[in-house]
Amino acid sequence: MASPLSKKGFTLVELLVTMLLITIFTVGLASVNVMAVKSNSYSRLSTQATVLAKDKMEALKNMNYDAMVSGGPETVATVFSRQWTVQNNVPVTNTKTVTVNVSWLSNGLTRTVTIRSIIDR
């Protein structure tokens, strides 16, 4: 006759421990997934802000040198705020230093992309 300890199968405790480990693993994966989604969102917004800054810089470079002036802020794509400054004769005479800033809110923090260029006459 076989004793009760020699029966094959899993005990209730073994099943509960296994379920606990699976639950902990699943929760860990979910938190990694949330962080990946937030990171992707930030990267997407950062890329869009960089494109908006470069677009404005190109538009300013294509303007008449004497017509180039500071401006903004202007709302772009309902999320971004873009402004630009034009400094005359900086760093030397007959040049303009143009700075374009694009800002947006991400997770309650203001993020900013800044690009700068020196344009000569």
Please determine, for residue 73, whether its predicted confidence score (pLDDT) is greater than 60. Answer: yes
Say which DSSP state 92 is in: S
Q: For the segment 3-48, what is each residue's pLDDT rounded down to a tens digit?
A: 656 677 888 999 999 999 999 999 988 888 888 888 888 999 999 9
**pLDDT beyond 60 at 1:** no
**pTM given for the model:** 0.74
Residues 84, 115: contact at Cβ < 8 Å?
Answer: no
Distance from C-alpha of 26 to C-alpha of 34, rounded to nearest angstrom: 12
* Strands ordered across the beta sheet of 71-76: 71-76, 80-88, 95-106, 109-120
Residues 93-108: tens digit of each pLDDT:
999 999 999 999 988 9
The pLDDT of residue 28 is 87
Compute the distance between CA of residue 110 and CA of residue 116 in angstroms, rounded to an integer. 19
pLDDT at 55 over 80: yes
Asked whether the predicted pLDDT for residue 62 surpasses 60, the reply is yes
